[in-house]
């Protein structure tokens, strides 16, 4: 990072501790209990915006891409376009509607592409402790709250993080509105803003673990390279609702399709295509439950003909779509 960048953003964005406890990457230390940070990657430069404690600050410069860690937690969500999240030597592609909740001590940096708009929420440990203390024992068993609970006071936080994908990209969904409301409350000094910030952030976390809106995955950096690769392949297939091919998977993950197929069979005793078919039939069942007609489903699931759709359905469920609707 250039010295000019440090002088520009450090007074109100964050502190960059150059004596990290891992001795491999600096630690980002936000100055506020909760802060929002937005990067808009334009054609030749990036517009950086920070919103915290009633202040909005911004500047434009070259992309800030340096390996770093956090002394708290970071929530990343792609609003538009795409980026690559480089996590300890592994590159993960995120598109609009994708994101992650990054554990502290994990070394990473984000590489935004032109046209990308990405939002970050940085959370200090004390802020999160207060939120967890307000939850019931039942709420603490929910996946995201459990993630925080397991890692917040551990002397050695687990080397894990959460990824989430919005099932249907929908900027008008409640989740997106909650992000807007949080931004407004972070930008104001009006009475009650602190309480609104806490409540809105809890609502945001709760939305992320809503199975009807997001698919949520927990990933560990301690997995072997092959196990992590298979986990990411399964995640990709699920995200596509099975509407993919061996060739597309191979292109996405930069491996030969035969190798990925062999690896999948070794780990899960199933081929890539069989796994994709399992996800596709689940998607069809969801569409039927939503009241979609067979004609709409055929279009959404990319069947070449009505007869192909019926054959596929009967092969996997042992009945016709009409019989399934009446069951």
State mean pLDDT over 207-211. 94
In whole angstroms, what is the distance from residue 198 CA to residue 32 CA? 13
| Single pTM value for the model | 0.81
Q: Are residues 83 and 209 in the same domain?
A: yes
The answer as to whether 225 is a domain residue is no
Question: What sign does the dihedral 72-77-82-87 (CA atoms) show?
Answer: positive
Instruction: Look at residue 26 in the predicted model and tell me its pLDDT.
Output: 83
> Where do we find the tokens 């459990």?
146
Question: What sign does the dihedral 123-128-134-136 (CA atoms) show?
Answer: positive
Task: Number of helices (H) and strands (E) in the chain: give both, helices first.
Answer: 12, 14
Q: Are residues 258 and 152 in the same domain?
A: no
Average pLDDT for the chain: 89
Which CATH number is 251's domain given?
1.10.10.60
In whole angstroms, what is the distance from residue 167 CA to residue 215 CA? 6
In whole angstroms, what is the distance from residue 180 CA to residue 186 CA? 10
Report angle CA 41, 45, 50 to the nearest 5 degrees.
Answer: 65
Q: pLDDT tens digits for 79-93?
A: 999 999 999 888 888
State mean pLDDT over 283-293. 94
Single out the residue of 168, 147, 171 nearest to residue 75, CA to CA: 147
Q: Are residues 245 and 206 in the same domain?
A: no
Instruction: Look at residue 24 in the predicted model and tell me its pLDDT.
Output: 65
The answer as to whether 232 is a domain residue is no
Q: Are residues 166 and 280 in the same domain?
A: no
CB 208 within 8 A of CB 216: yes
Q: Are residues 85 and 13 in the same domain?
A: yes
- Structural domain including 90 reads 3-220
């Amino acid at each position: 990072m250039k010295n000019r960048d440090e002088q520009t953003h450090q007074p109100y964005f964050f502190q960059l501790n150059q004596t990290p406890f891992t001795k491999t990457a600096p630690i980002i230390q936000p100055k506020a209990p909760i802060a929002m940070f937005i990067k808009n990657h334009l054609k030749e430069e990036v517009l950086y915006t920070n919103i915290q404690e009633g202040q909005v600050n911004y500047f434009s410069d070259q992309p800030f891409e340096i390996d770093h860690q956090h002394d708290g937690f970071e929530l990343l969500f792609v609003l538009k376009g795409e980026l690559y999240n480089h996590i300890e030597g592994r590159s993960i592609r995120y598109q609009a509607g994708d994101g992650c909740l990054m554990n502290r001590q994990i070394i990473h940096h984000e590489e935004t592409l032109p046209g990308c708009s990405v939002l970050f929420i940085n959370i200090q440990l004390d802020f999160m402790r207060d939120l967890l203390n307000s939850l019931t024992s039942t709420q603490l068993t929910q996946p995201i709250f459990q993630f925080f609970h397991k890692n917040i006071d551990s002397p050695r936080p687990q080397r894990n993080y959460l990824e989430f994908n919005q099932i249907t990209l929908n900027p008008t969904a409640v989740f997106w509105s909650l992000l807007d409301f949080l931004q407004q409350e972070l930008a104001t000094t009006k009475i009650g803003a602190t309480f609104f910030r806490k409540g809105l952030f809890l609502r945001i976390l709760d939305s992320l673990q809503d199975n009807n809106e997001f698919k949520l995955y927990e990933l560990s950096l301690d997995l072997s390279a092959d196990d992590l690769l298979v986990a990411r392949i399964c995640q990709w297939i699920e995200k596509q609702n099975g509407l993919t091919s061996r060739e597309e998977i191979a292109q996405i993950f930069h491996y030969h399709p035969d190798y990925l197929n062999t690896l999948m069979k070794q780990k899960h005793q199933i081929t890539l295509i069989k796994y994709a078919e399992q996800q596709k039939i689940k998607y069809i069942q969801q569409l039927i439950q939503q009241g979609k007609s067979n004609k709409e489903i055929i279009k959404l699931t990319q069947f070449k003909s009505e007869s192909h759709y019926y054959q596929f359905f009967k092969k996997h469920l042992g009945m016709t779509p009409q019989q399934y609707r009446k069951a």
